[in-house]
Structure 1
Amino acid sequence: MTMIKNPIIRGFNPDPSIIRVEDDYYVVTSTFEWFPGYQIHHSKDLVHWQLINRPLDRVSQLDMAGIPDSCGVWAPCLTHYEGVFYLLYTNVRRFDSPWKDTPNYVVTATDINGPWSEPVYLNSSGFDSSFFHDDDGKTWLVNMIVDHRHDKFFGGIVLQQYCKDTNKLVGDVEYIFEGTERGRTEGPHLYKRNGYYYLLTAEGGTGYEHCMTLARSRTITGPYEVHPENPIISALEQPSAYLQRTGHGDIVETQNGDWYAVFLTGRPLTERGNCITGRETAIEKMEWRDDDWLYLACGGRQARCKVEAPNLPEHAFPELAERLDFDDETIDINFQAPRIPMTADWVNLAQRPGFMRLYGRESLSSCFNQSLVARRVQAHHIETATCVEFEPDNFQQMAGLTCYYNTYYFHYLYIHGDDLGGDKSKKFLNLISVDRVDYDHPLAEPIDITGAERVYLKADFDGAQLQYFYALKQGEWIKVGPVLDGSRLSDEHASNFTHRFHAAFTGAFVGMACQDLSGQGIHADFDWFEYREF
């Protein structure tokens, strides 16, 4: 029997929404502050998945300049109705306050690969908006509602009709579900089967109490009764299980009548520890029983490492190359940038063929104009390396290799110049480790690399153990500094401070960066980039 190995979409890929269009399956996942917005993966057998598209690819759809870490685009909903794909999203502007600024939009396309339309504004009453297309032709918007009074925050689930002809919400807002005792009710999706409306929600927060809850009603506005064995998916009772934080998700029916659920999960480095790969997407087989409730087919609530695949033709995709030589005209789809588009004025493959040229801009702590191109860490042990040519004039000009979580948490091995007014021919290698407000410079003195035209940089990222290396001749690696704490690059560490509503919902990235804090816009040329998993 063919088995599906979990997680099916590894690395930071949370809040999955799934659809089937004939023989094709599509899952869209959250990207938060990373641009372009959202990731769409494609499969034909639920076993093999390929990243094919990021639909929110222009500022007119998604303006995130200056937003706080872990804001931006939250849980998406992808539906398909009468030949049109509908993608709902929230562009969260502010989260660390009693008030949450959560405008919701919808874009449409007739092809999953786009082009996607300009956005239509829906509402701002909460986040995790979704569409339900009823069998009478009506379309309904469902979202959680933010209640800022008395720190209540999670205010339940509301419903309103959407008019596809006018692209507007119409009629009254209906309050349909207050949630269960698990609390923090969000991520609503509606379905209809055997005369029941089913409301799937995420509860318990996105940490280790996360879970998936199901309720049903004979009428769309409720009242909704809760599943007798609620929650239907949860890892709370099994702290040593491989898949943890299981919750927020969606369900789909195959061509053969089988049912599967996709949901976010986490793989901690230690029991209930830090998850450097962030919240990922997993899958489980489900079954409808005689009581018209949905259950895990394997029984219980705990998702498994391996799941029975549906009886569909195998459809594998080519393996991704470990090394990119920047010979293509477009930037590899696995790369993203924080908050802003990757435009030719700061990241360029054409000006020096065979190289990625980055123009130095703001620091790695900026929420505006960074020059950082990075990809997800998708395994607990990876190795990444690059070769850079860079001729800085002073210490304000930097370029190198970063292991990055957000603007407050990163490690950075970088080349820089001499003091202002110093010898412009001098060039040094340095290391910085940033842990929110603590800035650690692990090297007693910068490493003098004056005269080196090409510098090779490498990071061996093995769970909580992160070791940097450099070389002036390819392959002759020399350790740089001590072993650093890689587990800092995780939701668990980033959310572990006094502010109750701090948002930390992403995962570790590795990438190339260039800064010019003098504002002169010096550039660095990266010859290649490697990413290898063990």
Structure 2
Amino acid sequence: MKITNPVLTGFYADPSMLRVGDTYYIANSTFDWWPGVQLHESKDMVHWMPLSGAIGETRLADLRGNPSSGGVWAPDLSYADGLFWLVFSDVKIVNGAFKDVTNYLITAEDIHGPWSDPIRLNGVGFDASLFHDDDGRKYLVQQTWDHREYKHAFHGITLTEYDPVAKCMLPETARTIWNGTDVKLVEGPHLYKVNGWYYLFCAEGGTVWTHQESVARSRTLDAMSFEGAPNNPFITNFDTPRSPLQKQGHGALVDTPSGEWYYASLCARPWHHETESVSDPRGWCTLGRETSIQKVEWDENGWPYVVGGHGGQLEVEAPKDAIETPPVPRDQHDDFESDKLDLRWNTLRVPFGPEMGSVGGGSLRLNGQGSLCNLFDLSLVARRWQAFDFDAETAVSFNPKTYQAMAGLTNYYNDSHWSWVFVTYDEDRKIRVIEVAQCDRGVYTSFLRENAVPVPEDVERVWLRTKVRTQWYTYEYSFDGADWHELPVRLDAKILSDDYVNQTYGGFFTGAFVGLAAVDYSGYGEVATFDHFDYREL
């Protein structure tokens, strides 16, 4: 079998990979999307089965009002003492001098939960991970944040002992163990003990084109005792600009039962407009930061290296002892018969509940709340883009009596970068109409205006569809589900990419989603009823 990269397509960033027995697990960052910490499992590293998010209850995290790309950063999944241990950061500020963050620890006997109430650890820095030493002691390893303008903000890797009995940190034990290389921005630390050496894997260079993973090691956990590998960077695509995989780094090391080694990291796949250079800009990654897995071996001096070179490979030999895992189709048809949302659906900052709407019996009913710019009260149910080319379709019943009420199909990155096709009310013509609008860097544009498409009075349901074709995407409508009409708007997909958002905003860590939304900022809660959703990759 072959591992084909990326193994998790679409927005699956900052993977923490773990093996327990013959089963591998990956935990990914979810930022402001709910549920928090996406989990997958596999027995072959080739096919991955999605599990429910670990943070599925508000008692575990309060993300309401978090900024876009704040929230749950860089979860760390480990296993010791018969428990799964999950450390995650909740970041409340993404721009400016400060990164207000709280790191939490939850545990469970089973990967499916239930998870314990969170233990507040500290706020020293984000990207915290838990290391279980073979003498039974436990340590939190983390990026360290420095707000002072005359210092570098990424102030080394701090190690602090954790007392599992008292369930608290021991701050008096804190020490800096490594400052990283001259690439700077050292973050995402994971610590391992192999053949008597402590190996520290860290991301550097920022999670953009300069991203890389570096390795250091030490015989002890003393302050500043770690020495960087002579063959650093361990993995990077900074010097492989034509590789389909870019931005690799920030990940985790795992061994197989038979003693092979693999490394899971984030990656991204850029595309270009025909008029653009292939090197500047390097491209637009609308699928966000995905997950790749590379094979790892060790040299004669005990340093790890990526098989095939530090740029990584698209195809990697699967573990020799792999147990075949059934593939999971990415296409989705949802007729909303269940009273629970499918695992592929996500909401922003809070779980789906009565304030947002209800599901079951053949429909998803969304209560109109705040606009798609709202960080508190938002009725949006969405799933990741997982392919560059796909169609997504729905049908909505909606009878607004004000232009302040809208419902439809959206392509969404964050509160400042999104578009949608929707049904609303034209008070001048006193009819329902179909409109297309976009929010680009916070600037809102209505494309159809006085040419918005009238909805006939006898039409109850309006079918809406989006066609995404890598560089561009369009919207269509139908009044019977058979005869479709393309709306005269072609939108640039790059606006829904990390790379575009990064030009003006420091929170650029997620990826494009497609989904269903209802807005009624008049405050009267007009309800939109969706009877199906289809997502089909081409």
TM-score band by shorter chain is over 0.9
**Residue 176 (structure 1) aligns with:** 177
**Residue 39 (structure 1) aligns with:** 38
Counterpart amino acid of residue 403 in structure 2 = F
- Secondary structure at the counterpart of residue 214 of structure 2: strand
Correspondence list, 1:17-416, <5 A:
17-150=16-149, 152-170=152-170, 171-221=172-222, 222-270=224-272, 271=278, 272-298=282-308, 300-311=309-320, 312-320=322-330, 322-350=332-360, 353-416=361-424
Q: Deviations over 1:113-137 (max 9, x none)?
A: 0011110000001000000000000
Q: Is the 8 A contact 2:417 2:442 kept in 1?
A: no
C-alpha RMSD of matched pairs (Å) = 1.2
Identity %: 40
Unaligned ranges ≥5, structure 2:
273-277
- In structure 2, the CA distance between the partners of 1:356 and 1:438, relative to structure 1 (3 Å rule), is same
Q: Is the 8 A contact 1:431 1:481 kept in 2?
A: no
| Offset at residue 418 of structure 1 (A) | 3.0
- Secondary structure at the counterpart of residue 493 of structure 1: helix
Q: Is the 8 A contact 1:487 1:493 kept in 2?
A: yes
**Residue 275 (structure 2) aligns with:** none
Counterpart amino acid of residue 283 in structure 2 = G
**TM-score, normalised relative to structure 1:** 0.96
Q: Is the 8 A contact 2:267 2:292 kept in 1?
A: yes
CA distance in 2: counterparts of 1:322 and 1:368, whole angstroms: 28
| Offset at residue 427 of structure 1 (A) | 0.7
**Residue 476 (structure 1) aligns with:** 483
CA distance in 2: counterparts of 1:240 and 1:441, whole angstroms: 38
Counterpart amino acid of residue 470 in structure 2 = G
Q: Deviations over 1:217-253 (max 9, x none)?
A: 0101241111111001001111010100111000100
Unaligned ranges ≥5, structure 1:
none
Counterpart amino acid of residue 188 in structure 2 = G
CA distance in 2: counterparts of 1:279 and 1:436, whole angstroms: 20
**Residue 454 (structure 1) aligns with:** 461
Counterpart amino acid of residue 244 in structure 2 = Y
**Residue 441 (structure 2) aligns with:** 436
CA distance in 2: counterparts of 1:484 and 1:321, whole angstroms: 23
Q: Is the 8 A contact 2:336 2:532 kept in 1?
A: yes
**Residue 522 (structure 1) aligns with:** 526
| Offset at residue 90 of structure 1 (A) | 0.4
Q: Deviations over 1:331-371 (max 9, x none)?
A: 00101111111113322114xx1000101000000011100
The count of aligned residue pairs is 524
Counterpart amino acid of residue 203 in structure 1 = E
CA distance in 1: counterparts of 2:329 and 2:441, whole angstroms: 37
| Offset at residue 177 of structure 1 (A) | 0.8
- Secondary structure at the counterpart of residue 349 of structure 1: strand
CA distance in 1: counterparts of 2:188 and 2:99, whole angstroms: 16
Q: Deviations over 1:155-194 (max 9, x none)?
A: 1100111111111012421111111011100000000011
**Residue 533 (structure 1) aligns with:** 537
Q: Is the 8 A contact 2:48 2:328 kept in 1?
A: no
**TM-score, normalised relative to structure 2:** 0.96
Runs of 4+ with >2 A deviation: 317-322
Correspondence list, 1:480-519, <5 A:
480-497=487-504, 502-519=506-523
CA distance in 2: counterparts of 1:369 and 1:488, whole angstroms: 24
Q: Is the 8 A contact 1:269 1:380 kept in 2?
A: no
- Secondary structure at the counterpart of residue 488 of structure 1: helix
CA distance in 1: counterparts of 2:529 and 2:211, whole angstroms: 43
Q: Is the 8 A contact 2:48 2:325 kept in 1?
A: no
CA distance in 2: counterparts of 1:377 and 1:285, whole angstroms: 27
CA distance in 2: counterparts of 1:388 and 1:27, whole angstroms: 36
Q: Is the 8 A contact 2:390 2:536 kept in 1?
A: yes
| Offset at residue 505 of structure 1 (A) | 0.6
Structure 1 stretch displaced more, 438-447 or 268-277: 438-447
CA distance in 1: counterparts of 2:493 and 2:446, whole angstroms: 16
- Secondary structure at the counterpart of residue 14 of structure 2: coil
| Offset at residue 275 of structure 1 (A) | 0.3
CA distance in 1: counterparts of 2:331 and 2:444, whole angstroms: 35
CA distance in 2: counterparts of 1:224 and 1:315, whole angstroms: 39
| Offset at residue 463 of structure 1 (A) | 1.3
- Secondary structure at the counterpart of residue 103 of structure 1: strand
Q: Is the 8 A contact 1:198 1:215 kept in 2?
A: yes
| Offset at residue 97 of structure 1 (A) | 1.6
- Secondary structure at the counterpart of residue 247 of structure 2: coil
| Offset at residue 321 of structure 1 (A) | 5.0
CA distance in 1: counterparts of 2:478 and 2:376, whole angstroms: 32
- Secondary structure at the counterpart of residue 157 of structure 1: strand
| Offset at residue 320 of structure 1 (A) | 4.8
Counterpart amino acid of residue 418 in structure 1 = D
CA distance in 1: counterparts of 2:132 and 2:173, whole angstroms: 18
Q: Is the 8 A contact 2:156 2:179 kept in 1?
A: yes
CA distance in 2: counterparts of 1:527 and 1:486, whole angstroms: 27
CA distance in 2: counterparts of 1:318 and 1:305, whole angstroms: 20
